[in-house]
Structure 1
Amino acid sequence: MFKSIYIRLAFTNLKKNKRSYLPFLVTSIITIMLFFDMSIIMDNSGIKEMPGAGSMRSILGFGTVIVAIFACVFLFYTNSFLIKQRRKEIGLYNVLGMGKKEIAIMMFWESLMVGGASILAGILGGIILGRLMFLLLYKIIGYQTSLQYEVTGSSISTTLILFAVIFFVAFVSNLIQVRKANPIELLRGGNVGEKEPKTKILLTVFGVVTIAAGYILANIVENPIEAISVFFVAVLLVVIGTYALFVAGSIAFLKLLRKNKSFYYKAKHFHSVSGMIYRMKQNAVGLANICILSTMVLVTLSTTVGLNLGMENIMGNRFPKELILTIDQSNEETIRTVDTIVAEELNRQGIRQENGYRCQYVAMVTDKEKDGFSFYAFGSLFYPNRVLVQIAPVSYYNEMMGENLELSDQEAVIYTSSKTPYGKDHFRIEDTDFTIVEEPDAIPMEKKQNFPVMESYILFVKDQTVINNLISSLPESGEVSMEYSYGFDLTGSEEKKEAAAEAITNRIQNDYGIGGYLELRGVYEEDFHMFYGSFFFLGIFLGGLFLMATVLIIYYKQISEGFEDRNRYQIMQKVGMSRREVKKTVNSQIRMVFFLPLGLSVLHLAAAFQLIRRLLSSFNLTNTNLIVACTIGTVLIFALIYAFVFKLTAREYYKIVTR
């Protein structure tokens, strides 16, 4: 009988507080659905057998971990809003004779109802939504073969255990808060008066300096590989600075507004500014969270959309020619053999090559120094000052460019992979100095990029004798060898191209034992679509999750503040403030709260743009116009959604304070 009373009481409480619990319930269900669907896709047996599945499953596995961590943090965060709003109600139960043990039992049933309903609805909804997500993923990656949609027991059990633990820990946390508080504290709830917070100049300056340091760091880095490590440092600095700026800088900003008499002494500004000053201590963290989440949405969606839409640019940079054959160690006999095999197999398939190039060169990794380049034999290739230098006879340059250039032993032609030209008269490597006689803007062998993953130079010298003399003068000269690259575009069907590529590879490696590898763009294209399509899918997935979190935090923040402000607005109406003036004040206050985080998040994105460009160039996306368009489009769409949420929450806030 007593259990049934607690169950009815718990159900009545949830019904009575539906305005608070319904958004939490919906969000919990959506979060569970997303995690469950990610697990379903990860465990699908068909996906495991797809080409390029390893990379795709790694990306989706990373996304699953992110969703799990996010679910823990986010559900605990929103749960704190709920328990804060119900403190007075729980205190009233305690004063009316209900002991803390009985309150704990009632709260247990409430948590069981919310958690159980969320998990059950989340899994059922995930099963329904999963098929749509499954089809969306295959549409994005362009995979043609239809695969079987599967719901695995491991996905159900993992989801059930994870979220059962989250809801149980949240219940225990609520219980501890109630047990520690006395009835008077609970009854007073959020009505405890706040002292005016002091202006913390040092913390404000710290926030500005930290954000500025993050911005500067994001814009001074040039190497894309270095940008990956710098990105996390810059993000950490900006996150710390954002919290400091909202905690201390927001108070300083509001006090400056209060000093501006022409702005402050207006009905719609007076109440909102003064009220926000007193509550900014508790608002600051929430506003910082909104700002950081908004930035995450913008960065995630703009980059992944750019990667997906820029596939042609990515493939063009990664494969300057449709077929590229690279021989590890080559000599004149090897080159003749390879050229003969290529010609024979292309003729056998009835296809022909065009726009081709051939080049034999020695490749070496060097350290870029002030007065030249020094040979580097060991260690990591991807280091900010590491440069790849390829040295080839000028005869190959003449063949590529249709020229008849003659060089002396000390002369060279130089080509750099960067769009920034070399622009010097001399090129010095170890103790050998070359006079640069020509620097072409383009060659068929390699395309220029704004931010190459590794800066490289191709140096064309007089002949093989010059190259041999240079190699013999290098330390650790045994570490370098002559390589041969043969690249060209093809005419004909994809089947014939693949057949020719397979035959060339088999004959070179198996019949002649020549070391090397062949890359055919069409073969790799499906893998690339899988890889970048998975990123896009994950971007939509996580972007939607972060957006949902942003909306819910804003909603709960405004609803909780509405209940706190209701008495204040009622007093203001009694002393003569009209409903129209109340509405103006409400809009003024919410506009400040809403658009300050949005404005700062857009500023964060703008400051990080150069760093994002460099990061995307490591994925071979160099189309700056496309990246800019994707970024602006993402910001505009997000701002429209943000404005819609502003209208919605402003209306709810107004209803509460005028009730």
Structure 2
Amino acid sequence: MTLLQFAFNNVKRNTRVYLAYFLSSVFTIMIFFSFAVNLFHPEIENKSGGAIEIIMGQAEAVILIFSFLFVFISVNSFLKIRSKEFGILMILGMTKKQLRRLVFLENMMIGCLAIMAGITIGLVFSKLLLMILSNILSYGSLSFYFPFKAIIVTVAFFILIFIGISTLTPLIIRTSTIIILLKGTKKPNREIKFSFTQSILAVLLLGSGYFIALSPKAFDIHPLLDKVVLFIESIPYLEVILTASVVIGTYLFFSQLSIFVLHWLKRNRRFYMKKTNMLWVSDLIYRIRDNSRMLFLVTILSSVAFTSITGVYALSSVVKDESLKDHPFALTYTSYSNNGNELQHIKIIDEMLKSYGFQYEKVKSEVIKQASSNNHTIHIIKLSDYNDRVSALGLEKVDLKKDEALLIPVYVRFDPKRDKTLSQETVSLNKGEINLEVVGVAPKVIFYSGLFNNLIAVHDEIFNQLTNIQDKYYSYSYVIPDWQNTLEVTENLREELGVGERGLYFWSTRIEGYILENQNKKLFLYVGFFLGAIFFLGASSFLYFRLYTDLNQEKNKYIGLSKIGLSFKEMKKVASMQIAILFFVPFILACIHTFFAIMVLQTVLYSSVFKQFLIVIGAFLILNIIYYLSIRYRYINLLNRLIDHKN
């Protein structure tokens, strides 16, 4: 028998152990290949202008990095499972060089099979994914093509990954002696100690990370708390500190705090001595100690999966609301005072809207630009024009005295306590000749986001007194109830008016921004869903690998328990409890991490994403329960067969 045949037989004999690793690799390769099919599609390369290539390219890079780590950790776990087998082979005369070649051949066999299976399945589903992408991008139908380039890229990258991992992993065996290999993964169960200080530190790190995430919500509760929040937000690299705090706290949670909690349960004699609690509590201390790194990794991967999918789902679901906020009017045409074609352009817009049968309401406003006393540009609108606009938007009108001014936000996501232009108490006009008291901030944008910086409304008489005018604008805004069907008329207006001439006029529509944002957000959802699925599948696979790594050690314990009279029903209860804790504690902690992460997201979106969070977590909970029940069923059946065989 040649070494190649021996490697093939080993892979075939260890199918049960390698199955989850193989299927996870196939899924990852399939997703990478599918993205490559989309990325290299001729129509996308010609039309996208680079945006899709950037998004898809970044997704491909993330998949490659994850694949490298996933394969390395997985193969490392399998080597530990088979360490006793390697020790026996070395006793029988196999050299370390031959052993390294054997492991290399086995890994490459599995890798090549996974690549072929992943590409084959990807080809089967490529047309479906192209249809989904064409719907997202509104490209019509993306025709199927033979993705030769995508196949070459996928094969090349993953062959390099499997060669690299297959070259690195045998180095682990080289550092082990035959005695260590023969002992396998079995470790003597010594008394587990924990650090009370590090346990408290875990609570403090997680608590501080959660407080920082919630800090924007703490405004307006108490002046002192406001100062604390502002101080926190002024800390440089706050996002890095927040992430590091939660990551380190999570590691200490499993390595120290969880052991502390289990020791506390152990000291509670009433609980500890009840039925089989003694067995699963005492054994779980050792299992968590041995698996703390794996549980930490599963929690972080699950958190990334939940947060990414919740984030992209929330972004895609609020596109319409965001468009309404960014563009309160369906169409806004703004002309400089020196534009002689203003009335002609407005006539073209009116006639075009009427020809398409659109009902609309038109609002005209005059805006003056001048330099304030501190040499900052300021834009002024008179009160009557402001009230006309807010009335058309369904908002309440305001009343200003001659010595009062109203600040108007320029961007949708504004906060008067953080935006200096919205925290002014007085405004000086006409080089300090006119001083006005600020009486408040308008509730929303009244043109479209970013049009006029540092915008204020003043009494009409004050507006008429303004001199030292740098520029004057006339802005026409249209309320169109059926704005979602204005794409065709907008395209025709672009042909008539162009994109606007700098120094004369410019115009913008809600429908164009909505379509662009809708495409981008749906594309992010498309990419984020698959990346989240890969991360979650990888996290679940690590749990599967670890359970089967520990099975050889656990079987001896359960065989001993069966000999002293413990029924299989009781052993089943103990095993089920331990597997449930290993499955659901990382899941629950990842859900908590995600909840506080979306609190940060809500401050960016200025809208609630709690509904999307519940939907995503609910879907993953169902998947986790199904995966837990299937693993538990297989684990207990294997355990039952091992015990029956020994007895």
Normalised by the shorter chain, which TM-score bucket?
Answer: 0.7 to 0.9
CA distance in 1, matches of 2:498, 2:276: 76
Structure 1's 217 and 455: CA in aligned 2 closer, same or farther, altered over 3 A?
farther
Deviations 1:206-255 (A, max 9, x none): 222222222122222489x9999744542232112111221111211111
Amino acid aligned to 1:495: E
The corresponding residue for 1:382 is none
- Mapping 1:522-601, distance limit 5 Å: 522-601=511-590
1:13 to 3, 10, 22: 10
1:243 to 248, 251, 257: 251
- Mapping 1:5-84, distance limit 5 Å: 5-50=2-47, 52-84=48-80
Structure 1's 401 and 538: CA in aligned 2 closer, same or farther, altered over 3 A?
closer
2:459 to 462, 474, 485: 462
The corresponding residue for 2:475 is 485
8 A contact 1:60–1:534 mirrored in 2:
no
How far 1:326 sits from its partner (Å)? 3.5
1:108 has 2:104 as partner: yes
Deviations 1:539-568 (A, max 9, x none): 111111112112211111222222221101
SS in 2 for 1:608: helix
1:410 has 2:403 as partner: yes
1:359 to 355, 360, 365: 365
8 A contact 2:379–2:452 mirrored in 1:
no
1:307 has 2:289 as partner: no
CA distance in 1, matches of 2:156, 2:370: 53
8 A contact 1:40–1:155 mirrored in 2:
yes
SS in 2 for 1:181: coil
Given the two structures, how large is their TM-score scaled by the length of structure 1? 0.83
- Mapping 1:204-243, distance limit 5 Å: 204-221=199-216, 230-243=238-251
Deviations 1:548-595 (A, max 9, x none): 112211111222222221101111111111001101111111122122
- Mapping 1:259-274, distance limit 5 Å: 259-274=267-282
CA distance in 1, matches of 2:520, 2:235: 21
2:621 to 612, 636, 639: 639
SS in 1 for 2:583: helix
8 A contact 2:332–2:447 mirrored in 1:
no
CA distance in 1, matches of 2:307, 2:458: 45
Structure 1's 102 and 142: CA in aligned 2 closer, same or farther, altered over 3 A?
closer
CA distance in 2, matches of 1:363, 1:195: 77
RMSD: 3.5
SS in 2 for 1:350: helix
SS in 1 for 2:508: strand
Deviations 1:98-147 (A, max 9, x none): 222332332232122112211222222222222222222223x1515222
How far 1:261 sits from its partner (Å)? 1.4
Deviations 1:269-325 (A, max 9, x none): 212221222233321111111111221221111122222233321322232211122
8 A contact 1:210–1:241 mirrored in 2:
yes
Identity percentage of aligned residues: 23
Deviations 1:510-562 (A, max 9, x none): xxx74443222333443223211110101111111112112211111222222
1:294 has 2:276 as partner: no
1:427 to 411, 421, 425: 425
Deviations 1:370-416 (A, max 9, x none): xxx97668xxxxxxxxxxx6432224224435699886552224445
CA distance in 1, matches of 2:198, 2:399: 66
User: Once structures 1 and 2 are overlaid, which stretch shifts more, 485-494 or 462-471?
Assistant: 462-471
8 A contact 2:316–2:522 mirrored in 1:
yes
The corresponding residue for 1:323 is 331
- Mapping 1:271-290, distance limit 5 Å: 271-290=279-298
CA distance in 2, matches of 1:598, 1:471: 64
CA distance in 1, matches of 2:262, 2:423: 58
8 A contact 1:303–1:616 mirrored in 2:
no
1:628 has 2:610 as partner: yes
How far 1:92 sits from its partner (Å)? 0.9
CA distance in 2, matches of 1:93, 1:18: 20
CA distance in 2, matches of 1:425, 1:643: 51
Amino acid aligned to 2:249: G
8 A contact 1:295–1:604 mirrored in 2:
yes
The corresponding residue for 1:393 is 382
8 A contact 2:427–2:437 mirrored in 1:
no
Structure 1's 345 and 596: CA in aligned 2 closer, same or farther, altered over 3 A?
closer
How far 1:20 sits from its partner (Å)? 1.0
Given the two structures, how large is their TM-score scaled by the length of structure 2? 0.85
How far 1:454 sits from its partner (Å)? 12
Higher relative contact order (CA 8 A, sep 6+): 1
User: Once structures 1 and 2 are overlaid, which stretch shifts more, 180-189 or 589-598?
Assistant: 589-598
The corresponding residue for 2:345 is 341
How far 1:68 sits from its partner (Å)? 0.9
1:500 to 493, 497, 507: 493
SS in 1 for 2:333: strand
8 A contact 2:307–2:598 mirrored in 1:
no
Structure 1's 219 and 93: CA in aligned 2 closer, same or farther, altered over 3 A?
same
The corresponding residue for 2:595 is 606
How far 1:187 sits from its partner (Å)? 0.6
CA distance in 1, matches of 2:406, 2:255: 58
CA distance in 1, matches of 2:343, 2:599: 43
The corresponding residue for 1:257 is 265
